[in-house]
Amino acid sequence: MRGGPTQYSEKVMEHFKNPRNVGEIENPDGVGQVGNPVCGDIMELYLRVKDGIITEAKFKTFGCGAAIATSSMVTEMVKGKSVEEALKISNRAVAEALGGLPPVKMHCSVLAEEALKSALDDYLSKSKGKLPGEKVKSK
């Protein structure tokens, strides 16, 4: 990565060099896949949800250091959160958690947010769109 430490925060470099939660979840409750045709980055995000709480999150990302770092960070941010809380995580929150991103790399945090939203949408569609605690109306 050109530009060295002045371009990326220490936290971005840490998550790039030692990404957390890399891999796939077998039979996940939600999967999201997004890509950016301009830069070629592709992110896949896998979620395990139990009683409305995200218990496990993993990712596979083909992309630059910032794409890998944002994928790693978003998986860390969602674990232990409810589906509702996870739906509120923004790309800015991911970038801030990493100590900021260069403006030219903010699209990587957008991809991380989109992959998360896609995986959550997948989970909600599989669970018939019910959030935990919602009663199924009997006819």
Contact 112, 70 (CB under 8 A): yes
Catalytic residue at 64?
Answer: no
Of the residues 39, 87, 93, 124, only one is catalytic, namely: 39
Of the residues 108, 111, 115, 119, only one is catalytic, namely: 108
CA–CA separation, 62 vs 13, rounded Å? 16
Contact 8, 1 (CB under 8 A): yes
Contact 43, 64 (CB under 8 A): no
List, in order, residues 6 or more apart from 90 with CB less than 8 Å away: 113
Catalytic residue at 108?
Answer: yes
Residues classed as catalytic: 39, 108
